[in-house]
Structure 1
Amino acid sequence: MTDAYVALEGGRVVEARARAPGCTRGELVFTTAYTGYEESLTDPSYEEQVLTFSYPLIGNYGVRPERFESDRVHPRAVVARELTDDVASWLTEAEIPAIDHLDTRELVIGIREEGAMKCGIAVGEDVTAEDALAELDQCQGMSEHTDIGSQVSVDGQTSYNRDGDGPTVALIDCGAKGSIITSLIERDATVHVFPYDATEDDIAELSPDVLFISNGPGDPKNFEAAGDLVQSYAGEVPLAGICLGQQVIAEALGGDTEKMTFGHRGVNQPVRDLRTEQVVMTTQNHGYTVSEPGDLEVTQVNVNDGTPEGLDSEDLGIITRQYHPEANPGPHDTLGFFDDVLTMAKTTAPTAN
Structure 2
Amino acid sequence: MTKGYLVLETGEIFEGDWIGALKPVTGEVVFNTSMTGYQEMMTDPSYAGQILTFCYPLIGNYGLNDYDQESKKIAVSAVIVNDLCEEPSHYQSSRTFTEQLEDEGIPGLKNIDTRELVSVIRQHHTVRGKIVDDMEKVKELSWISETERNLIDLVSVKESVTFDNNGPHVVMMDFGYKKSILDALLNEGCKVTIVPYESSITDIHQLNPDGILLSNGPGDPMQMKAQFSKIKVITEQYPTLGICLGHQLIALAHGAKTKKMPFGHRGGNHPVKDIISGKVAITSQNHGYVVEEGSINKATFQIQFQNVNDGSLEGIKHHYLPIQTVQFHPEGHPGPSDTAYIFKQFIQQVEAAGGEEICGSAIL
Q: Deviations over 1:265-285 (max 9, x none)?
A: 000000011111111100000
Q: Is the 8 A contact 2:301 2:319 kept in 1?
A: no
The percent identity for this pair of structures is 38
Structure-1 residue corresponding to 2:156 = 153
For the pair 1:310 / 2:315, whether they are aligned, the reply is yes
Q: Is the 8 A contact 1:296 1:313 kept in 2?
A: yes
Structure-2 residue corresponding to 1:346 = 351
Which stretch of the first structure deviates more once superposed, 252-261 or 234-243? 234-243
Q: Deviations over 1:227-281 (max 9, x none)?
A: 2332112322111110000000000001111110100000000001111111110
Measure, in 1, the Cα distance between the counterparts of 2:85 and 2:137: 26
Measure, in 1, the Cα distance between the counterparts of 2:215 and 2:318: 18
Q: Is the 8 A contact 2:170 2:191 kept in 1?
A: yes
TM-score for the superposition, normalised by structure 2 = 0.91
Structure-2 residue corresponding to 1:92 = 102
> Kindly tell me: are residues 52 and 75 of structure 1, through their superposed partners in 2, closer, same or farther at Cα, counting changes over 3 Å?
same
Q: Which amino acid counterpart does residue 46 of structure 1 have in structure 2?
A: Y
Q: CA offset at residue 323 of structure 1?
A: 0.5
Measure, in 2, the Cα distance between the counterparts of 1:117 and 1:226: 28
Structure-2 residue corresponding to 1:262 = 263
Q: What is the RMSD of the two structures over their aligned residues, measured on CA atoms?
A: 1.6
Q: Is the 8 A contact 1:234 1:352 kept in 2?
A: no
Q: Deviations over 1:295-339 (max 9, x none)?
A: 422111000111111111141210111001112233010101110
Moved over 6 A (4+): none
Measure, in 2, the Cα distance between the counterparts of 1:229 and 1:111: 36
Q: Deviations over 1:203-232 (max 9, x none)?
A: 121121111110000011112354233211
Structure-2 residue corresponding to 1:328 = 333
Q: Is the 8 A contact 1:210 1:238 kept in 2?
A: yes
Q: CA offset at residue 175 of structure 1?
A: 0.2
For the pair 1:177 / 2:187, whether they are aligned, the reply is no
Measure, in 1, the Cα distance between the counterparts of 2:301 and 2:197: 23
Structure 1 gaps, min length 5: none
For the pair 1:12 / 2:27, whether they are aligned, the reply is no
Structure-1 residue corresponding to 2:148 = 144
> Kindly tell me: are residues 202 and 224 of structure 1, through their superposed partners in 2, closer, same or farther at Cα, counting changes over 3 Å?
farther
Q: Which amino acid counterpart does residue 342 of structure 1 have in structure 2?
A: I
Aligned pairs, number = 344
Measure, in 2, the Cα distance between the counterparts of 1:105 and 1:39: 22
Q: Deviations over 1:88-116 (max 9, x none)?
A: 12111111001111211011011111112
Q: Is the 8 A contact 2:27 2:129 kept in 1?
A: yes
Q: Is the 8 A contact 1:235 1:315 kept in 2?
A: no
Determine helix, strand or coil for the equivalent of 1:193: strand
Measure, in 2, the Cα distance between the counterparts of 1:84 and 1:325: 30
Measure, in 1, the Cα distance between the counterparts of 2:352 and 2:154: 35
